[in-house]
Amino acid sequence: MKPPLLPHGPGFRLIDAVSELQPGPSMTARVWLNPAWPVFEHHFPGNPLLPAVYLMEMAAQAAGALWAAHAGWPPQEPLRLVEVKQFRVRQGAQPGEILTIRVKIETDWVKLALFNAVIERGEETIAEGSLVLAAAVN
């Protein structure tokens, strides 16, 4: 695992590390849910829970890192999440947990790509779905 190469600023890089590009192509990312994140103080006070939109964004960031690596684009290329398809959150995630995000390119149309994402805590799937990213690459 290595630090992800993402265009996001440090305050919005939600994944900590990514694997090398794998056949498929696919990639695995890891994230530690830092208890100091402000979101845990306010969602829900006394019983913190990671909002589902953070899980989707983590999957999108992992998908973007995968697509950039697969296409050979520099990490600062602007990629946009344009659609979330059938994303299901089966269980919540709490501060201090380590999550694994597995992403795979299902279809690549050059400037648009469909990804499958699975988010796990240990051996347990806590969320899964499909995401579409668009590229503004020349």
Inform me whether the pLDDT recorded for 118 exceeds 90: yes
Inform me whether the pLDDT recorded for 35 exceeds 60: yes
The model's pTM: 0.93
Q: Domain 10-135 carries which CATH code?
A: 3.10.129.10
Residue extents of the structural domains in the chain: 10-135
pLDDT at 138: 56
What 67-71 contacts at long range (C-beta under 8 Å, 24+ apart), as own/partner pairs, is: 67/105, 67/108, 67/113, 67/115, 67/133, 67/135, 68/5, 69/21, 69/25, 69/27, 70/21, 70/25, 70/105, 70/108, 71/108, 71/135, 71/137
Please provide the average confidence, as pLDDT, over all residues in the chain. Answer: 91
Q: Is 43 a catalytic residue?
A: yes
Closest by CA to 67, choosing from 125, 24, 119, 15, is: 24
